[in-house]
Structure 1
């Protein structure tokens, strides 16, 4: 579980300074500080700006007061306390934008006349837009819940966080990044969007696990187990979770990870519905899909692993852009290959196990680049625990969405899937009638549609 966070604003450690008897001491200290700053800054400015004269510094003027205010705020940030200051009508922000043909006095004077530096405003606007886009990305493009992996010297600390905490975690990272401002680059709106997109892509990465569920007791670690602290470090479920998180960090440097067993609250029907409908997209957007083959030690053994016979793992094979197969001991089957979807040796055995060719595996099935009957053939011989899952597991592959209604039966769920495909993509729906066999007439009012993917096997 995540440790409690300490409050940096502890009243016992705060440093406050008010008005009253100490006001004269404060003014004297301000004068000394300003004098020291003048002796430091003026020679520094003169190294880049050739002086053409001198200008007296008014230690009681608005420039001096603004500088003192800024310094106090800066110090308060460093020590973690609170420094009370009088707010001035406008704030000065020094930016390095002057050219060498200005003298030092002009530079200092011009800063006092600029309420808000235009570059600072530009950077603030960019950062605000970045934060808004990040929040939208977390809310709409990432899973509901993720495992947060925090590396320490001798161990990894794992916690389970939801979208609010995911955003806060990523926002802390992104806020600390310098804004790479360049007047030419940032003058174009399109460049801003590209920079925001690349920043979010770089820091909102997550790994996703594809695996065959454990059967029996204690089995997998579920969301309920995690919340109740029912975690046995010796159990197979715990070892799988630990192996996944360790691999995500060790092999890919990723600190956010998704594992269906623990990251979905199956007691919430609305969350389960959203998760099932979104699962293809979550696998597709993952930075890496880690496939754990619990029955495999070498590449040739792939074709006999049960993972290739399960209903849900079909979309988990097709959706990810990058995928890596791992053995039962959490070692890479192809050690020096970054993406097994481009590894011909791996794909040879994958084709033997699934009948999916390397060419087909590289194509995005959600855009209907393979025929619908062909996609049904891939699912025809696969098995599921809940019979309705055979239809639900195909939604993402055919780029449709239907409501989840466990208890409706496999035939009715599959009928609703076919109806949605026909309605969504009528131009390609004709291929759905390319099947053979006898339909279940108790569920179907027509003999034109099959009651299961198995009827698409030629």
Structure 2
């Protein structure tokens, strides 16, 4: 604000007020002045000068950038300081590429950006010596013989620029936002942030990150970077501080709402070190790292159905997709799209963030997963399918449990495999090889898997089963169903209106499995899963004469020809 108005106010105060009253009012005036300046920065982020007109001094606005990242301006180095050039280079690269975009500077609860972090910690980084690098390299090679000098330097840098992350359930009444902290405003929920900073300081962290106020949600670019990088930010954090506000002890931990939220799944799996606090910020254990406390980890495993090894040493990726989807199946998110976005890091896939796309986000997630996944268990779901493809479920809630023995292929020799190992997305839909079985021939017994119970049923005798977990012992193009073994299948029925004599996938409420009394050997068929149709109990039984024999023929063992079945997109269906 220009000096004209300020001088006028000060003169008026000196003439009319006592000295103590002047000091109090000047303090209030200074605070108001600072708030006006902050507002002007928001309106004129790059500064603007209004020249004097008509002899009036006016308001001169010339503001240096003050946002946490210097308004994304250049990193202006201070005076040159001694230091190892390689160390400075690794430090700059680490801060710019691996740290969160914004962090809270714990001592004064203000937001700082990457450029300010560089300026704050550069002097300490220059103190790293060759002796320290050598010593750290020796330590790293004790656990990782392939560690290099660069790894040792980066490890030393992370010790200096370490930060804590918060895992919590958002309050319905609101949380501090990015602009609240930027303007030093203390809204409802600010006390939780203060407590978090206190705990972060106890772990020696001068920086902290919270998803409520460290993401500029007005910037689509910064929001997308945060969502796609969040798993890595939690993994790289010095400690994750988990606040379970409904919990009083390990005994009632499983009842906390924290376990029902979608984003907290990756916040539980990603960090290497965690510290859990219950109601009123009381620690649930006396350990520094609760991931080393077996009692607490066992309670977390019971509450989440996640194995202990995954809780402590989780590795992201597209293996065990069915199991990971089961972990997510009981969780909810406020935004529909976050059902998918909260799983990006867990599956280690890349996809664009586009709020407003609704359930299509989960369809795109499944497309990204299927490109790197060859597990037949990915089809162990029932219920509504994605509006975009019958191959994919509507959400993780569609996934159902499998028998551990039948779902575990880890011990199979390399010459034996189950299911299609080359599932691929094509323009015609999801291409997969299945073993077709005509259920009207009564050569198999059909079961519905209700929970963990197998219930025998004859309701599907008019359909064809596409078995996805058949056995393969060679590359002849044939699959085998072993006697009295459970085999997972998708239900299909022919579409007489299709010019391709194609098939449609039938939607079922539960998983459908089949068992044979004797070994069944059959040539595999290629199907393309497109759209699905609801289960239609009123549909008249289909004669085998209506089913093209080219698609369900029982071929001799020396035949190696593959059948092709096209699942045509259905028209509107009214049972």
| Coarse TM-score class (shorter-chain normalised) | 0.5 to 0.7
Query: CA separation in 2, counterparts of 1:223 and 1:303?
Result: 31
Aligned to 1:439: 385
Bigger RCO (CA 8 Å, 6+ sep)? 1
Query: Are positions 1:230 and 2:185 aligned together?
Result: yes
Aligned to 2:96: 139
Aligned to 2:154: 197
**Secondary structure at 1:449 match in 2:** strand
Query: CA separation in 2, counterparts of 1:207 and 1:146?
Result: 10
Structure 1 residues 184 and 132: alpha-carbon distance in aligned structure 2, compared to 1, 3 A threshold = closer
Query: Are positions 1:265 and 2:209 aligned together?
Result: no
Structure 1 residues 331 and 128: alpha-carbon distance in aligned structure 2, compared to 1, 3 A threshold = same
Matches within 5 A, 1:336-355: 337-355=287-305
Q: If each structure's strand is expressed as a fraction of its own residues, which one has the higher value?
A: 2
Structure 1 residues 450 and 243: alpha-carbon distance in aligned structure 2, compared to 1, 3 A threshold = same
Matches within 5 A, 1:3-402: 127-150=84-107, 157-180=108-131, 192-216=149-173, 219-232=174-187, 235=188, 237-250=189-202, 252-335=203-286, 337-368=287-318, 371-402=320-351
Q: Report deviation, 1:181.
A: 8.2
Query: CA separation in 1, counterparts of 2:191 and 2:259?
Result: 22
Query: CA separation in 2, counterparts of 1:449 and 1:309?
Result: 23
Aligned to 1:422: 370
Query: CA separation in 2, counterparts of 1:184 and 1:290?
Result: 30
In the alignment, structure 1 segments of 5+ residues that lack a partner are 5-81, 83-122, 151-156
Q: Report deviation, 1:178.
A: 4.8
Query: CA separation in 2, counterparts of 1:267 and 1:191?
Result: 40
Deviations 1:186-219 (A, max 9, x none): 9xxx864244123112112111000000112xx2
Aligned to 2:564: none
Query: Are positions 1:448 and 2:391 aligned together?
Result: yes
**Secondary structure at 2:241 match in 1:** strand
CA contact under 8 A between 1:209 and 1:292: conserved in structure 2? Answer: yes
Aligned to 2:21: none
**Secondary structure at 2:280 match in 1:** coil
Matches within 5 A, 1:408-419: 408-410=357-359, 412-419=360-367
Kindly tell me the number of residue pairs found equivalent between the two proteins. 316
Structure 1 residues 185 and 163: alpha-carbon distance in aligned structure 2, compared to 1, 3 A threshold = closer
Deviations 1:282-313 (A, max 9, x none): 00111100001111121112100000100000
Structure 1 residues 307 and 191: alpha-carbon distance in aligned structure 2, compared to 1, 3 A threshold = closer
Query: CA separation in 2, counterparts of 1:332 and 1:192?
Result: 38
Query: CA separation in 1, counterparts of 2:343 and 2:129?
Result: 43
Aligned to 1:119: none
Q: Report deviation, 1:249.
A: 0.6
Q: If each structure's helix is expressed as a fraction of its own residues, which one has the higher value?
A: 1
Q: Report deviation, 1:177.
A: 4.4
Q: Report deviation, 1:364.
A: 2.3
Query: CA separation in 1, counterparts of 2:165 and 2:103?
Result: 10
Structure 1 residues 175 and 437: alpha-carbon distance in aligned structure 2, compared to 1, 3 A threshold = same
What is the root-mean-square deviation of aligned Cα atoms in Å?
2.7
Structure 1 residues 182 and 348: alpha-carbon distance in aligned structure 2, compared to 1, 3 A threshold = closer
Q: Report deviation, 1:355.
A: 1.2
Structure 1 residues 191 and 389: alpha-carbon distance in aligned structure 2, compared to 1, 3 A threshold = closer
**Secondary structure at 1:366 match in 2:** coil
**Secondary structure at 1:147 match in 2:** strand
Structure 1 residues 426 and 299: alpha-carbon distance in aligned structure 2, compared to 1, 3 A threshold = closer
CA contact under 8 A between 1:365 and 1:398: conserved in structure 2? Answer: no
In the alignment, structure 2 segments of 5+ residues that lack a partner are 1-30, 35-78, 138-146, 402-575
Q: Report deviation, 1:158.
A: 2.1
Query: CA separation in 2, counterparts of 1:226 and 1:129?
Result: 35
CA contact under 8 A between 2:91 and 2:154: conserved in structure 1? Answer: no
**Secondary structure at 2:300 match in 1:** helix
CA contact under 8 A between 2:259 and 2:304: conserved in structure 1? Answer: yes
Query: Which deviates more, 195-204 or 310-319?
Result: 195-204
CA contact under 8 A between 2:110 and 2:184: conserved in structure 1? Answer: no
CA contact under 8 A between 2:266 and 2:346: conserved in structure 1? Answer: yes
CA contact under 8 A between 1:206 and 1:254: conserved in structure 2? Answer: yes
**Secondary structure at 2:316 match in 1:** helix
